[in-house]
């Protein structure tokens, strides 16, 4: 997942001669995962993708975590992280572990360089704002509610439109895909899946840039940020085909699964990765058993941490959280609805909440700077 696509000009057979009008060769690049046994695409460049004129180490970009404290529920006001900038330099992380980094960014300006994550796939959830992402595979336009999935090694640049924008940023050290239980042996999404291939948007247009000059590509790899300067525009691809490319799924296209009694969180799963999953809580009808309790029951995360990013609506099981809030409910202790929320849910017909949930299967740690925007009384809010 996703499915096969082709854009631009490509030769009839892979790994064969493909000439430009002047008789010189296009440069073929196989971009694949899992040692040639995973998803891959083949791109055809006007210049060799290895053709650099300068390389340097920029900085250490590993996050600093706080010292171990008491085991408790945490609440962070990400709307108070006011620092802005471009979609990469402006990222401010709140939580992380060996598998994932979670944070937000308020991109206010176009990147004047290109970027690629050499450690894993990325997901950018667009809370608000519009703009475009230019990539080696083509350009994608984004809007509120979009999950932008960017594969490892993809060179890209984010250009927000005029106005405020905000992304929830999920950086992985692995891959992002759709849940295996929703796919058949051939990778096609099944009838019981809450979304299908029609809901997925790939690059809309492939723009081939032939400009020459100095173009910087920054690469995050091994915990450091590196800079490489090319003597040509890095988005010089004339055509490509395959299964590996950036794509977008909008949360409004997620069709919720409902039942007579309260259904567990896995019904909301949208993506999976190594040691964590991403779920979408969307407006939906409540349970329809005549004695159903729509609010979630208290439960213990015996082997996972739960993170919720609140987008909009009435968060029926929580008090004191707002749009852009991030909560962490760690493994080892139970969590559940706030006082009065169970009783208030009885007899209700629907919920209009919108939120993104991330469940990790290794403990998360809190980034030091996140303490500046923490609601320190949240852990006592069940009293």
> Which sequence spans correspond to the domains of the chain?
5-250, 255-380
Model confidence over 149-198: pLDDT tens digits?
999 999 999 999 988 899 999 999 999 999 999 999 999 999 999 999 99
pLDDT digits (tens, 9 = 90+) for 222-260: 999 999 999 999 999 999 999 999 999 999 999 999 999
Mean pLDDT of the chain: 94
End-to-end Cα distance, the chain: 45
Instruction: Give the per-residue pLDDT at 1.
Output: 64
CA distances to 201, 282, 293, 340 from 343, rounded to whole Å, are 41, 21, 8, 6
Please give the C-alpha separations between residue 221 and each of 116, 153, 237, 314, in angstroms, as whole numbers: 9, 10, 23, 40
H helix and E strand count, the chain: 1, 29
Q: What is the pLDDT of residue 264?
A: 87
Tokens 């598998």 belong to residue? 99
Pairing of strands 122-128, 146-150: antiparallel
For residue 381, the model assigns a pLDDT of: 93
Classify domain 255-380 by CATH number.
Answer: 2.60.120.10
| Tokens found for residue 341 | 């929320």
For CA atoms 65, 320, 355, 295, the dihedral sign is positive
Specify whether the CB–CB gap between 180 and 163 falls below 8 A.
Answer: no
pLDDT confidence of residue 317: 65
Quick one: pLDDT at residue 61? 93
> Whole-structure pTM over 0.85, yes or no?
yes
Q: Would the CATH topology of 5-250 be identical to that of 255-380?
A: yes
pLDDT digits (tens, 9 = 90+) for 32-90: 998 888 899 999 999 999 999 999 999 999 999 999 999 999 999 999 987 778 999 99
For domain 5-250, say whether CATH 2.60.120.10 is its number: yes
Question: Where residue 312 falls among pLDDT bands split at 50, 70, 90?
Answer: very high
């Amino acid at each position: 997942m996703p499915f096969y696509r082709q854009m631009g000009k490509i030769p009839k057979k892979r790994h064969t001669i493909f000439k430009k009008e002047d008789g010189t060769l296009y440069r073929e690049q196989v971009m694949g995962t899992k040692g040639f046994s995973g998803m891959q695409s083949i791109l055809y460049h006007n210049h060799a993708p290895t053709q650099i004129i300068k390389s340097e180490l920029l900085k250490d970009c590993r996050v600093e975590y706080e010292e171990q404290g008491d085991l408790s529920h945490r609440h962070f006001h990400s709307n108070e992280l006011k620092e802005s900038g471009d979609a990469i330099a402006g990222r401010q992380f709140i939580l992380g572990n060996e598998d994932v980094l979670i944070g937000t960014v308020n991109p206010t300006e176009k990147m004047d360089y290109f970027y690629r994550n050499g450690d894993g796939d990325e997901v950018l959830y667009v809370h608000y704002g519009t703009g475009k992402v230019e990539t080696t595979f083509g350009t994608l336009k984004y809007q509120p509610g979009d999950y932008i999935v960017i594969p490892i090694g993809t060179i890209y640049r984010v250009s927000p439109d005029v106005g405020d924008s905000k992304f929830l940023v999920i950086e992985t050290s692995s891959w992002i895909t759709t849940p295996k239980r929703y796919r058949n042996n051939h990778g096609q999404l099944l009838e019981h899946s809450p979304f299908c291939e029609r809901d997925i948007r790939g690059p809309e247009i492939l723009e081939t840039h032939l400009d020459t000059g100095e173009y910087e590509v920054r690469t995050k790899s091994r915990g450091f940020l590196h800079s490489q300067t090319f003597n040509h525009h890095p988005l010089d691809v004339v055509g490509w085909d395959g299964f590996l490319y950036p794509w977008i799924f909008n949360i409004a296209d997620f069709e919720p699964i409902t039942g007579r009694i309260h259904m567990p969180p896995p019904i909301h799963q949208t993506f999976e990765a190594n040691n964590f999953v991403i779920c979408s809580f969307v407006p939906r009808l409540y349970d329809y058993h005549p004695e159903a309790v729509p609010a979630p029951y208290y439960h213990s995360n015996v082997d996972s941490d739960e993170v919720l990013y609140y987008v909009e609506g009435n968060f029926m099981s929580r008090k004191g959280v707002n749009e852009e809030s991030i909560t962490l409910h760690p493994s080892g202790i139970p969590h559940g609805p706030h006082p009065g929320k169970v009783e208030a849910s009885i007899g209700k017909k629907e919920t209009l909440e919108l939120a993104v949930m991330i469940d990790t299967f290794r403990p998360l740690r809190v980034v030091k700077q996140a303490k500046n925007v923490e609601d320190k009384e949240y852990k006592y809010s069940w009293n």
